[in-house]
Structure 1
Amino acid sequence: MTPTAPTASLHGWRLFTALAVAVLAVTALCLLWQPQLVEALRSAIRATARTSFALFLATFLASALATLVPSPGSRALLRERRFLGLAFAFSHLVHGVLIIAYVKLFPETFWAGRTAAANIPGSVGYLFILALALTSFPAAVKALGARTWKLLHGTGTWVIAGIFCLSFFKRIPMGPWYVLGFALIFSAIVLKLTAKLATRQRRATPALRGATR
């Protein structure tokens, strides 16, 4: 599940389209593979949760990798971060539509052992995903102002990362996939914080050298 850099010919909206088609293809395969609709929906929900997580990791780690492991690949990943983020939003939109279908068709199964409070983190996550997707265009940056835009996107990505972390942590007893997911998002958070610390140190070094002259 390690993010890979987009090729030179696959960038921008082409990259987004390719990723969106891949998400839809995975969803269709899951729905067609299972003969029973309830199991087909569950399978598709799990699959889109994983595609969303993979795309979020690539988006979340793009700047950190460019800082800590500068290379043509990490720089390309950073350049495509906006489209990776939009692909993540699309994948999670499909994920949400599948959940709504599951709730409508099989409410007794969905709500078994679940409370309304359990849906609060996910609902908050969707609100931030919507806000980030809608403001991922130059016109939004201009309208909000660079400082407000940066604050919104910085806060939003950390909130989503925290929700993924909490979601995987709560489900660790349910299977090894959740252990892996938690380990990946926890490692990504540590890597992101390490990159931020490295950036601050690099900025502070010239000032420190100037003060000692």
Structure 2
Amino acid sequence: MSANGRTISGWKLFWLIGALVLAMSALILLLGPDPVEGLRSVIRATARTSFTLFLAAFVASSLATLVPNAFTRGLVRERRYVGLSFAFSHLVHFAAIVGYGALNPQFWPGRSALTNTPGTIGYVFILLLAATSFRYFSQRMTAAAWKRLHTIGIWVIAVIFGYSFFKRIPTMSALYAIPFSILCAAVAVRLVGKWAQATRRRQAQTRSSTRNTLNPHVLESL
């Protein structure tokens, strides 16, 4: 991840992405015909930026396994900051929803607790994943618990994205089939990548066991 030959990484990458999301949202509000429609457009735009950033974090390690190159390895290195950028983008998305609901009195009464449940669950997991990306919280968890939380959390968020797109295909627009298909492809990439990683680990363990068996001096030195 570089610009003009200079690498942008770590917190610089996070602040750059965050600034771009804020600038985009501000520009949409300035160009909108009125605040209500402007906020509605911000909701749509930040949904897209959040989805893009989520996909990048979701498939990072699998892409690096299946298509190893400088970009995919860089994506793995910056996955934490890409994930935090996703959380920030979705925070802006949430702020736009709250603002839209405040200016449009018909919005919240038209939604039920059941309708809000997937989004609420998604935000809870986003908050948990973002918080445990910092050492203060991660050090208070075992490595196994941290990995379990992040694995479950990222899959829950993926399912919520998929559900959100799928339910809109028959009721709003067939164009929602595009992001739904992209998500399905990302799921396939992640599953194949994880399978490839597991296969390589098993092969490495088998080679190590074979070397130890064939070389008795190795066993004597243990």
Task: Report SS of the residue matched to 2:139.
Answer: helix
Question: What is the aligned partner in structure 1 of residue 88 from structure 2?
Answer: 90
Task: Report SS of the residue matched to 1:130.
Answer: helix
TM-score (norm 2): 0.87
Q: Which runs of 5+ in 2 are unaligned?
A: 215-222
d(CA) in 2 for partners of 1:194 and 1:78? 17
d(CA) in 1 for partners of 2:160 and 2:88? 18
Question: Are positions 1:158 and 2:142 aligned together?
Answer: no
Alignment of 1:169-180 (within 5 A): 169-173=166-170, 174-180=172-178
d(CA) in 2 for partners of 1:156 and 1:132? 7
Question: What is the aligned partner in structure 2 of residue 137 from structure 1?
Answer: 134
Please say if residues 6 and 77 of structure 1, whose CA atoms lie closer than 8 Å, have aligned partners that are also in contact.
no
Query: Which of 59-68 and 29-38 deviates more?
Result: 29-38
Question: Are positions 1:148 and 2:145 aligned together?
Answer: yes
Question: What is the aligned partner in structure 1 of residue 76 from structure 2?
Answer: 78
State how many pairs are aligned. 208
Deviation at 1:167, TM superposition (A): 0.6
Question: What is the aligned partner in structure 2 of residue 118 from structure 1?
Answer: 115
Question: What is the aligned partner in structure 1 of residue 35 from structure 2?
Answer: 37
Question: What is the aligned partner in structure 2 of residue 13 from structure 1?
Answer: 11
Q: Which runs of 4+ in 1 moved over 6 A?
A: none
Residue type at the aligned position of 1:193 = L
Q: Deviations over 1:43-88 (max 9, x none)?
A: 0100010010011011111111111111111010000000001100
d(CA) in 1 for partners of 2:29 and 2:174? 24
> Per the alignment, do residues 110 and 37 of structure 1 end up closer, same or farther by CA in structure 2, a change over 3 Å counting?
farther
Question: What is the aligned partner in structure 1 of residue 217 from structure 2?
Answer: none
d(CA) in 1 for partners of 2:74 and 2:14? 14
Query: Which of 77-86 and 169-178 deviates more?
Result: 169-178
Question: Are positions 1:25 and 2:50 aligned together?
Answer: no
Deviation at 1:208, TM superposition (A): 4.6
Deviation at 1:176, TM superposition (A): 4.3
Question: What is the aligned partner in structure 2 of residue 46 from structure 1?
Answer: 44
d(CA) in 2 for partners of 1:198 and 1:107? 51
Identity of aligned residues (%): 50
> Per the alignment, do residues 6 and 54 of structure 1 end up closer, same or farther by CA in structure 2, a change over 3 Å counting?
farther
Question: Are positions 1:127 and 2:124 aligned together?
Answer: yes
Q: Which runs of 5+ in 1 are unaligned?
A: none
Q: Deviations over 1:140-171 (max 9, x none)?
A: 22211211111111111111011001111111
Question: What is the aligned partner in structure 2 of residue 68 from structure 1?
Answer: 66
> Per the alignment, do residues 66 and 149 of structure 1 end up closer, same or farther by CA in structure 2, a change over 3 Å counting?
same
Please say if residues 41 and 102 of structure 1, whose CA atoms lie closer than 8 Å, have aligned partners that are also in contact.
yes
Report the aligned-residue RMSD: 1.8
Deviation at 1:116, TM superposition (A): 2.3
